Structure 1
Amino acid sequence: MRRLPALASVIAAGLSLAACQRVDNSAGSPTTYIDPGSMGPVKGVGIESQDIIGMTDQMLRDMLAQPRLANAQVPPNVIIDAEYFYNESSSRLNKNSITDRLRVGLNRAAAGRMQFVGRNYADMVQKERDLKRQGTVDKATLPAARAQKGGDYRLGGRITSLDARDPKTGQAQRYSQIIFEMVDLETSEIVWSGIYEFAKAGQDDVIYR
């Protein structure tokens, strides 16, 4: 019976020692916020957030300086989306991240000098129009329109790239060219064009998703 206190003391000492030991279960570095307009710790030769911000800011300023777009007597109806904005480059990216930012910036800065048509919402709008005209729902507060807005100008363009790699060093280099154009939807005239280009080089490329 005298062995029980001794055994209890050994167990207590073991538990105390285990409690004092710290095990690092962290996997990798902690997540931190970074400025999307500057180059982050993970960087490659593709199109990244700082490039998207730089190009859309530049195109926004250029478009607002185009009289036919921003200073017309009657504000034109414009469509800014990725439907005719093609990615033919080796960079993997979501085109909407470019066209959405451009549209939002223009809409805020134009201050009524342009009217923005959400062509991607046409189905949603038509369903609501049908419900109102069928009497399923009331007419709401806005006056009825004969039809949805048509577009005067629409964004088009493409992303292309030129890649090179040194087989001896593994160094990769990519030249990226992004073309933006506004097209007259009656005549197909290109009323405005903008270009954004850059080249990057790096020892190791990163994987873009």
Structure 2
Amino acid sequence: MSTKFIRASLWLAVAALLLAGADAAARERKLENRNGVQTRELDPSQKGLVTGVGIEAHDIQSMTNQMARDLFASGFLNGLSKPPRILVDEQEFHNEGSQIINRRMITQRLMTELNRASQGRMTFIGQRYAGMVAKQRELKREGVTDVGTTGMTGAQAGVDYFLAGAIMTQDARDPRSGVVQRYNQIAFELVDAETGAVVWTGMYEFERAAADDVVYR
């Protein structure tokens, strides 16, 4: 094999590698969307790039943290001999406001914060899983599966208290300037599931105005 042929082959290999690298770089630049708005990592506890007058991620974090602190500060758990069983479900948390919002984002985060802070002083009941629980109970009692490590009980766990609440808004718009103003009120109530007594209430509220509101969905 001649030296000329070997050199030509090496040059072709180098050229192919350079072309492949350039092509990969071009694809990477395209993915980076350099002609548009670049993707950014945001802190959900802070205001984002797109903000309006409604409930946003930092509001959900702030309100659930505050509600968890307020509930424990109220002394609700004082004097209870056993950890109360509590149901937190979006079915009892109603959106009566003008903004579209996923209610479960609020109730799920609130339950998570309460569970983390309670350190075993509260038990949370997942009634949304009642169908799966009933199926597993049936499999155990029919001998299809063993009884697990915790054994069997007479019935599914009942609820001592459930958390209810509502999102409410009051909107105003100036037709001349287009400025939108919204008062947001988020109320929570802890209700005795046996008597209906409201044993704790909490409220988170704020008001914002903007030249033009954003679209929430």
The two structures share one fold, judged by TM-score above 0.5: yes
One-letter code aligned to 1:56: T
What is residue 191 of structure 1 aligned with on the other side?
199
Unaligned ranges ≥5, structure 2:
1-21
* Partner SS for 2:203: strand
Deviation of the 1:67 alpha carbon: 2.6
How far, CA to CA, are the matches of 1:67 and 1:124 in structure 2? Answer: 35
* Partner SS for 2:113: helix
1:180 aligns with 2:188: yes
What is residue 140 of structure 2 aligned with on the other side?
132
What is residue 95 of structure 2 aligned with on the other side?
87
TM-score by length of 2: 0.83
What is residue 159 of structure 2 aligned with on the other side?
151
**Which residue, 73, 76, 79 being the options, matches 2:84?**
76
What is residue 130 of structure 2 aligned with on the other side?
122
One-letter code aligned to 1:77: R
Alignment length (residue pairs): 189
**Which residue, 46, 69, 81 being the options, matches 1:38?**
46
State the identity as a percent. Answer: 49
**Which residue, 111, 114, 120 being the options, matches 1:106?**
114
TM-score by length of 1: 0.86
How far, CA to CA, are the matches of 1:138 and 1:73 in structure 2? Answer: 32
1:61-99 residue CA offsets vs partner (Å, 9 max, x unmatched): 011123333652211111111111000000111000100
How far, CA to CA, are the matches of 2:76 and 2:197 in structure 1? Answer: 12
Deviation of the 1:167 alpha carbon: 0.5
How far, CA to CA, are the matches of 1:192 and 1:109 in structure 2? Answer: 17
Q: Map of 1:9-28 to 2, 5 A cutoff?
A: 26=33, 27-28=35-36
What is residue 163 of structure 1 aligned with on the other side?
171
Q: 1:32 to 1:71 in 2, by over 3 A?
A: farther
What is residue 3 of structure 1 aligned with on the other side?
none
* Partner SS for 1:90: coil
What is residue 60 of structure 2 aligned with on the other side?
52
Any conservation in 2 of the 1:64–1:70 contact (CA below 8 Å)? no
* Partner SS for 1:107: helix
What is residue 15 of structure 2 aligned with on the other side?
none
Superposition RMSD in Å: 1.7
One-letter code aligned to 2:82: V
